[in-house]
Structure 1
């Protein structure tokens, strides 16, 4: 495939993944259950959705993806599960603001890891865009100082796991990412299941949980796996930050919650940083193709 076309597909898939992941706030408000119950449903039904995708894409050969899993696949699954557990634990120990700002550092963490493991040297443009995105998230969340140290550490662990999973994909482009994500999603859901309040789940809740798993988990992970192997690690991470400003947009559209000025300003900065990077990178790709 033409390198420019491959790069554009990577941008499209990772952007689409960020959009699907940004629906988490919408589903959290819609479902109105305790967090372990929602995560358990998201993980289990997300795994089911991913399994269906695997069977459709691979036909009768689908068992091979699971049987032939090796060390790299095991590392990726461990990162998915550890990242989810750390993220869930951080929610009760630090503020949403701290979680968001710490996660926004993922492009810079990925830039360092990409240089260390892959010798991918990030451009000045992507580093500036990453720094601007962090600033935008910080403005959205109000530069809060209300987080707890243990929660912040867990949030950083979750962010580091996400960055390392991107590196694993770049190091091993042939890894069966969808199958790994399926196993990781299932294990994450099963880990939360003992803490879930299943008695509170109504038929309506059940339907919403299925949608949560299929859209936010299965679709998001599938799109991310298709895109992340086509882009440098730092660019994948930068585009993933679109999740933060888009999340309040869906809540506003669905529930009429008006975003405050700092949310609009900060979200606009994040969007602007990502768009700026995409436009500049496209121009660079066009010049290289001449």
Structure 2
């Protein structure tokens, strides 16, 4: 699973720093793209059990990441400076990560990740509604195209091939990430690593109260360690580290690699081929997103 910031014109670091940041963000997208494939290796009936173990291993990884990078004192200071904005972002990440696992029990990986592809545009629309931020004409056109594409994808649910509940959870993921984007932009001084860690803790605690049991096999434990620590935790660590070094439009553009790769891995490894309307709607969403982000990247380079 992957999040993107709204386009702004940042103070850019040197080209070498940008290259490093771009490599980290692209790495996070590639790591996240294996999420659906790993989930399909698990045969645990209770989705809350998966959420618990995945969130637990992600939290342990992120805590270790902060302790190694910032040291014990630095880690404590990060949490102290997080404030309510960090708590809100943590709740958003907890909602998104939990919904991701539960959605996979109802719908295809393609539906989930393709609906998430509209996060930057949903965030732009929310910013306009809540804060009256100006939105360019090409952004409105892209938003309209994304809404149309998602409508086509969701329409497959009406035919019974995909669950409406799964599509609803996928849309909830997109809105949770978009909300986190808005908060992050309004509180740009807040470091997001402790907020992400808090999100995994909240998800873990919530799942612990809902799960029917925690018993898993040794093979499932191995998959869950990779699923939580590497796919989820490492992906978050790479993204929050690299996204600070590159323009937000470029970060979002690189993040679309997850949307493209995730259904491919599942189709190749598990033979889960998306339906025709999902492919058509997803193509519209991706085309709109790539065109939009391409224009924004061009504008930032000019600036």
Question: Does the 8 Å CA contact 2:154/2:164 hold for their aligned counterparts?
Answer: no
C-alpha deviation, 1:257, in angstroms:
4.7
Matches within 5 A, 1:66-77: 66-77=79-90
User: Are 1:207 and 2:222 counterparts?
Assistant: yes
Q: Could you tell me which of 210, 214, 220 is aligned with 1:198? A: 214
Number of aligned positions between the proteins: 285
C-alpha deviation, 1:188, in angstroms:
0.4
Partner of 1:125: 138
Query: Root-mean-square deviation (CA), in Å?
Result: 3.9
Q: Could you tell me which of 6, 24, 28 is aligned with 2:39? A: 28
Question: Does the 8 Å CA contact 1:14/1:228 hold for their aligned counterparts?
Answer: yes
TM-score by length of structure 2 reads: 0.73
Matches within 5 A, 1:39-58: 39-58=51-70
User: Are 1:164 and 2:179 counterparts?
Assistant: yes
User: Are 1:62 and 2:78 counterparts?
Assistant: no
Structure 1 residues 221 and 196, CA gap change in structure 2 (3 angstroms): farther
Q: Could you tell me which of 201, 221, 226 is aligned with 1:186? A: 201
Question: Does the 8 Å CA contact 1:104/1:137 hold for their aligned counterparts?
Answer: no
Cα distance in 2 for partners of 1:75, 1:119 equals: 21
Moved more, 166-175 or 5-14: 5-14
Cα distance in 2 for partners of 1:4, 1:118 equals: 32
Structure 1 residues 154 and 251, CA gap change in structure 2 (3 angstroms): closer
Matches within 5 A, 1:145-164: 145=158, 146=160, 156-164=171-179
Structure 1, gaps ≥5 residues long: none
TM-score by length of structure 1 reads: 0.76
Structure 2, gaps ≥5 residues long: 1-10
Question: Does the 8 Å CA contact 2:25/2:255 hold for their aligned counterparts?
Answer: yes
C-alpha deviation, 1:239, in angstroms:
6.7
C-alpha deviation, 1:65, in angstroms:
1.7
User: Are 1:144 and 2:161 counterparts?
Assistant: no
User: Are 1:2 and 2:12 counterparts?
Assistant: yes
